[in-house]
Structure formats: C-alpha cells, structure tokens
Amino acid sequence: MRDVLQLEVEGKSLQIQRLRDPRCRRMRLVVDERGARLSMPQRASQAAAEAFVRDNGVWLLAQMAALRVGEDGHEDRPLSERPARLPLLGSERAVHWLPARHTHVLLAADGSLQFHYSAQAGQAALVRALAEFYQAQARAQIGPETARWLPGLPRAPRRFVFKQMSSRWGSLAPDGTVALDLSLVLAPPAVLQYVLVHELCHLIQPNHSAAFWAEVSARMPAWPDQRQWLAAEGRRLKYRLRSLLAVA
C-alpha cells in the first residue's frame, strides 16, 4: 500500500512516497527521478518511519540535491517563472520569452530557444509547448541516424515513439515499434545516437548476446563511453525532464 509521508527533515519540508511491503524486513530509502520513496515492513509504525527518515536526513537531502542541481550549480525553475535557459542536446540554451498569439517554442539560428507564449498561457500550456518542441527535436536527431543504418537491418522499424520512461532508455516491441526515452533529447547527441543504435540492433539480434554487442560496436565503436555517461548522469536527466514537464 502506498501513501505519502510528510515531515520536516533538517529544516526542510518533504513529501516521501511510503510503501508498506509485506516482503520488506527493514526500512529502505530510495531517491530517483520520481522522488524519494520509503519501503517499510507492514507492521512498522509511523513514528519508526519518521525516525528512520530523520536519521538518514543528511544523506536524503544530498541525494535529492544531486538530482536537482547540475555540476554548474544550476537548478531548473518552473516554466511559469520564465527560466532564462533550458537544456537541449547536452547544453544549456538561452531562452527568449516572446509574447505571441499562440504558445510554441522555436530553435533560433544561434542555438537559443524562442519561447512564444500567449497572455492566457498557464503552466499546462507552457509544458505542452515545451514537450512538443522536445519531441520534434528528438525526431530530427534520429531521422538521419535511422536512414544511415537502415541498409544493414533485416527490416525497418514500424515507428518511433518518444515518452518518459521510469528506468529504461529504449525498447523494441514485437511489432517493430521503437520507444525511446524523451529525456535523451537533453543529453549530448552521441548518447541519443547510442540508444537508437542499441534498439535498431535488436532488429538483428533480439537479445544481449556477444553477437548483439558486436553489431552495436560495428556501428558505434565508442558506445561504452555513452553507456558510462548514462550510468553517471541518467537519473539527473530523467529528473530534469520530469521537473520541466510537471504541470503542478
């Protein structure tokens, strides 16, 4: 059973997802792009849960801060607060907020973003416009890459879908649909290319055998570098997209 534990930790008010698990023998805190979660035994008390969280408060806040704040100390602000920059393809882009009739986002020739917004646009409209922009940018990145590798594939992918994924970066459905995590559009282009190549190679080898990795290496010899980047930065990447596209 899930509920929310609200309490003050080290002077900060936090909301922690709480899961009572009959298989759980001791309390466990996890922090990822979905926030902080506490797994606890079925019969553990509220007081015990609060004490456990407070005892681990310093660690908890450090983990949450690591997701929110990048190496440059930058922390994303809600779109309704008109942030001065937004992430795209591995860099922070300056944002120019321009009053307009319709809300939409454009990529300027100098690499900055033009965020056109109507006077009636609330957070939901701003989020929708940014999500559509990120979708378009992601598709623009994979188009040339897909065409590049199609001649060596047994069949073409049926279609591509970009969505927010909780843990995976991509998947290949039995019908040939390739799903990719939308947060990859925030990463350096080579990272998105690696995940794309990974999924395309599953059209040849539907497994993770040595033969599969040979196919990946033949197309992208430096793939271990991109995989390592995802291991180090992936959680923050997913958290950033969730934060940017949060309506409430």
User: Which segments of 128-167 are extended strands (E)?
Assistant: 159-163
Sign of CA dihedral 78, 84, 88, 92: negative
To which CATH superfamily is domain 79-245 assigned?
Answer: Metalloproteases ("zincins"), catalytic domain (3.30.2010.10)
CA distance 30 to 19: 11
- Bridge partners (DSSP) listed for residue 107: 113
Which of 145, 238, 239, 147 has the alpha carbon at shortest distance from 189? Answer: 145
The tens place of each residue's pLDDT in the chain, 248 residues long, gives 568 777 777 777 777 788 888 888 888 887 776 677 788 888 888 888 888 888 877 777 777 766 665 545 566 778 989 999 999 999 999 999 999 999 999 999 999 999 999 999 999 999 999 999 999 999 999 999 999 999 999 999 999 999 999 889 999 999 999 999 999 999 999 999 999 999 999 999 999 999 999 999 999 999 999 999 999 999 889 989 988 998 76
Task: Show Cβ contacts of residue 100 under 8 Å, excluding neighbours closer than 6 positions.
Answer: 116, 117, 118
Domain residue ranges of the chain, discontinuous segments joined by +:
2-68, 79-245
**pTM for this entry:** 0.77
Q: What phi, psi does 247 have (nearest 5°)?
A: -80, -40
Supply 90's token pair.
């591995």
